[in-house]
Amino acid sequence: MRIVIAGGHGQIALRLSRLLDARGGYEVAGLIRNPAQGDDLRAAGAEPVLCDLESASVEEVAAHLQGADAAVFAAGAGPGSDAGRKDTVDRAAAVLFAEAAERAGVRRHIVVSSMGADPAHQGDEIFDAYLRAKGEADAYVRGCEGLDWTILKPGRLTDGPGTGLVRLEASTGRGDIAREDVATVLAELVDSSATAGLTLELIGGTTPVAVAVKDVAGN
């Protein structure tokens, strides 16, 4: 399978690349805007692809997605960015990536969103703008008839070691989740479209990842 990850140098994306590379049978490409990040992607088993989602056209992004079996949007403006970049990356780039995936005929589409993402979220802080941007992007993806989408909303991200045990449901309530466990869930999701059409929240829990994904998909 060929997997294309937007935001290929992000912490979750690099973990996902390492997991898929270790499993074998995957060809992973990560979209990055900074060529200096290429070696990090190669070390994780991914092919670096230069593409700035804040300036690229839909045609350019679609060309990078040609022949892919799944697309994962894991890009983000990141901490310290202003409200403007929350809009251009967390909303606009996610919309562009989804539109490009439809144009390229890549049906399987996974979005790493955020718990609390909501286009109607109120507030004037930077984080409020972030939650609105993510919510607007999620709403756009849900309307894409050409995509078998799954939207994953992790709780508060931590850098500790993954446990492989999670709670994955339509609504989980607040909680923490290790980035490693988010990546493990994504690795399960890219392989199957059984969760297509679902928006899922994810926190640490007591259920092994593979079982949690099968349970929520009704398998």
Quick: pLDDT tens for 180-204: 999 999 999 998 889 999 999 999 9
Alpha-carbon distance of 87 to 85, in angstroms, equals: 5
CA dihedral sign, ordered 89, 91, 96, 98 = positive
Of the two residues 178 and 218, the one the predictor is more confident about is 178
What's residue 80's pLDDT? 77
What's residue 84's pLDDT? 85
Alpha-carbon distance of 19 to 194, in angstroms, equals: 20
Give the residue-averaged pLDDT of 81-94: 90
Residue 79: CB atoms within 10 A of its CB come to: 8
What's residue 61's pLDDT? 98
Q: Which of 26, 73, 97, 130 is catalytic?
A: 130
Give the residue-averaged pLDDT of 155-172: 96
CB distance 114 to 155 below 8 Å: no
140 as an active site residue: the answer is no
Alpha-carbon distance of 69 to 67, in angstroms, equals: 7
Give the residue-averaged pLDDT of 99-106: 98
On the question of pLDDT at 219 being above 70, the answer is no
